[in-house]
Amino acid sequence: MLHTNSFKRRQMGALAWGALLVTASVLPLSPKLALAQTSSGNYPTKPIRLVVPFPAGGATDIFARTLSQKLGEKIGSTVVIDNKPGAGGTLGSDLVAKSVSDGYTLLLATSSTHSIGPNLNPKMPYDAVRDFTPIGQVGNAPSIMLVPNSSPAKTIQEWIELAKKNPGRLNYASSGNGTIVQLTAELFKSQAGLFVVHIPYKGTALAMPDLISGKVDVLFDSLPTGLPHVKDGRLRALGVTSAQRTSMAPGLPAISEVLPGYESTTWFGLFGPQGMRPEIVARVNAAALQALADPEVKDKLQRLGIEAVGTSPTQFTTMLAAESAKWKKIITERKITLD
């Protein structure tokens, strides 16, 4: 009888422990425990959201969609594009800055959201350095220096000499105050020591007729929208704004060949919220590098006027600091504002 009671007690104890284990298995994990499991090497276990802080159909959106499929294949999960446009990329960027840093919400950012905007707008809702984890640079989009066919300048050097002989009499068009188009021209003016008048438009497409007719003297435009006018014989291209010559504009010199150190491109990069675990950052970075090496991805990006670039998180961080310092200097010296 004693043996029977002892056996029953042991049996009831085992059942109780079993019930506790079952209960624990169905209770939701605490955020810290969930994050710990994420860091154990199982990442990713669900779809990854890639926030694009610009409207669908734009260059950044097309870039994201081009990259996302291959990125998903390489990382082993679906990458879902989520367009969150508004305030020049600020709204979408801020959303990611305030997201959980578990690697399931990423941002495809650009020069405007992390290099230019923060130096133009002191009231940004996020800190471009403190609130994000750099994962890697993924692309670079250089611009092209365009002049009317009627311009007497056939080279970059000749245009600089023309402007120096006519201070304040030549002008340049931009897509608006504080845009990369304006800053590209202001950087050119600064390094060449020129006085050229700024004429802002609501987009470079609206400036194009005035450039073709000769009312505007120069425009630094993107390759996809500028080169067709050159190929059709409506405009003359003098050079590209990348640090070196690019295969996307064969035969054109880099402006840096005349103005050493000159470079102005729109960069594209992947970020996560602040505090992403290094192993998750490394996982996403490795998958992005593999995706960018894919010939199909490279070809699609080139048609967008974007060179595929793959860097480490450390290289990306260094580049970000240099870009921010460069544009801060130009914005401050030239007293550039959004107004």
| Residues 142 and 153: beta-carbon distance below 8 Å | no
Q: Strand pairing of 171-174 and 105-110?
A: unpaired
Residue from 93, 137, 92 nearest 114 by CA: 93
- Token reading at 257: 């060949």
Task: Give just the sign of the alpha carbon dihedral 310, 322, 313, 66.
Answer: negative
What pLDDT digit, counting tens, does each position of 24-81 carry?
333 333 343 344 344 436 999 999 999 999 999 999 999 999 999 999 999 999 999 9
Mean pLDDT score of the chain: 90
Q: What is the pLDDT of residue 339?
A: 80
Is 79 within 8 Å of 107 (Cβ atoms)?
no
Read off the pLDDT band of 278 (50, 70, 90): very high
pTM across the whole model: 0.86
Q: Tell me which residue has tokens 């409506």.
A: 234
Go through the domains of the chain in sequence order and give each one's CATH number: 45-140+265-333 (3.40.190.150), 142-257 (3.40.190.10)
Residue 19 tokens read as 């019930």
Distances 266 to 20, 35, 96, 171 between C-alpha atoms, Å: 56, 34, 21, 23
